[in-house]
Amino acid sequence: MNRTLPVNKNDYIDVVFEDLTHDGAGVAKVDGYPLFVPNGLPGEKAKIKVIKANKGYGFGRLIELYEKSPYRVDIDQSDLHKYGGCQLEHISYEGQLKYKENQVRQVLTRIGKLEDVVVHPILGMDYPWHYRNKAQVPVGEKDGQLIAGFFKPRSHEIVDTDESLIQLNEVNEAINVVKEICSKYGIPAYQEEPHKGVLRHIMARYGKQTGELMVVLITRSSELPHKNQLVEEISARLPQVKSIVHNVNPKRTNVILGEKTTVLWGSEVIYDYIGNVKFAISALSFYQVNPDQTRVLYEKALEYADINGEESVIDAYCGIGTISLFLAQKARKVFGVEIVPEAIEDAKRNAAINGIKNAEFAAGEAEVVIPKWYKEGNTADVLVVDPPRKGCDEALLKTIIEMKPRKVVYVSCNPATLARDLRILEDGGYKTVEVQPVDMFPQTTHVECVSQLILKL
């Protein structure tokens, strides 16, 4: 027993939750010692059981609530399968928005030491359900039938799911139909430990504006049993389907998609629009999963870029050209860079589809390509970054500071790394003017932000 800690494993204690962690667990403190408890909400009084006590923090389990938060939503336990991946399903949407906005404000102050930045009220959705245009669900077997859904937390046990409340209805239907057809023809599910079986995942992608559907069957083996029958039945039962694709991933890995992709039926891509920009989406394309809020996010980025037709713009981490093509409608020239070569090919194709001729794209690491452009004398009036969760590379931030674009627009999916990078840019001569949080992923802990920085004179 560790007498230096204020709590020990298996203790039952009464607490008041003060905050939420980045993954939605309640935070309570005993003599300054933090305890992280799933399902606890700020302001609630509760009895918890300590299940783990580390040196600097511990974990607990909620035993009894004495006082509930006004933002708590009681979930029917029989419906929990509908909430796979939803860490905040027990919080009202008003409460979720308040939590996310507060999270952004706190990290900007705590990590970025940014005291006087304007943080606007978060932009939420009118209807925060059934918004995801893509699902990729693991497949298993139970009682001789295929099951597909999501993994239980901290396990590889699959919960069979026939409806997800955050997927578009068309996506839910596609997953169910494909699961039923594959089960009918006895397609063996992939088994992780022995590395046997065939079907690993079912993916469905849907163009909300076009109504076009793509189905992707991801298998361990290059052979897909009953391939012709599967294609015939899927195309017959899902009239919106425009593309049926077979992806092969033979590796022992948690990565979902493999390197080999074959079109079994229909087109290689489906199409969708964000605003008035049309995008071709392949099985491997990165495309935002909430198209309604993506438009909100990109229009805010365009507003913060404040371009009038004379500017040269660099879009780091450009993906398939989503932000670049929005910017190109107003900028003189846009240069996009992305590490994934296939994404660059998609970006070039999307520029051609939209008749956009003032956007150029290069494959490579932003932190390598942009410094190279700078050394060659290519500069930017406006620079846009939309990095992965780890934030911007140090070399890229250094180049931005040396290049001195008059304006930087930082689109972020991680407030903590955003705050860190804003601090570096501030120390390098920039002023963070305003930050706009956008709720791209209702019912989850994730929050996106668009930030505007201007060069200090």
Distance CA 379, CA 371 (A): 10
Listing DSSP states for 328-370 in one string gives: HTTSSEEEEEES-HHHHHHHHHHHHHTT--SEEEEES-HHHHH
Token pair belonging to 254? 């948690």
C-alpha distance from residue 96 to each of 294, 298, 361 (Å): 19, 22, 37
* Cα–Cα dist 386/395, whole Å: 15
**Distance from chain centroid for Cα 72:** 25
Question: Do 404 and 88 touch, CB atoms closer than 8 A?
Answer: no
For the four alpha carbons of 352, 357, 359 and 364, in that order, the dihedral sign comes to positive
86, 318, 413, 449: which is the annotated catalytic residue?
413
Tell me 194's DSSP state: T
Residue type for position 348 = K
Among 329, 314, 175, CA closest to 237: 175
Residue position matching structure tokens 């019912």: 443
Dist CA 114 CA 118 (whole Å): 10
Distance, C-alpha 275 to centroid of its chain: 20
Backbone angles phi, psi at 271, to 5 degrees: -120, 150
Task: In whole angstroms, give the CA distance from residue 310 to residue 403.
Answer: 18
Range list of β-strands (E), 390-457: 407-412, 430-438, 448-455
Confirm if 349 and 325 have CB atoms less than 8 A apart. no
Would you say 416 and 107 are in contact if contact means Cβ atoms under 8 Å apart?
yes
133 phi/psi in degrees, rounded to 5: -95, 10
Give the whole-angstrom CA distance, residue 403 versus residue 373.
10
- Told to judge if 413 belongs to the known catalytic residues of this protein, a careful annotator would answer yes
Spatial separation of the C-alpha atoms in residues 355 and 351, rounded to whole Å? 6
- Which residues are annotated as catalytic? 413
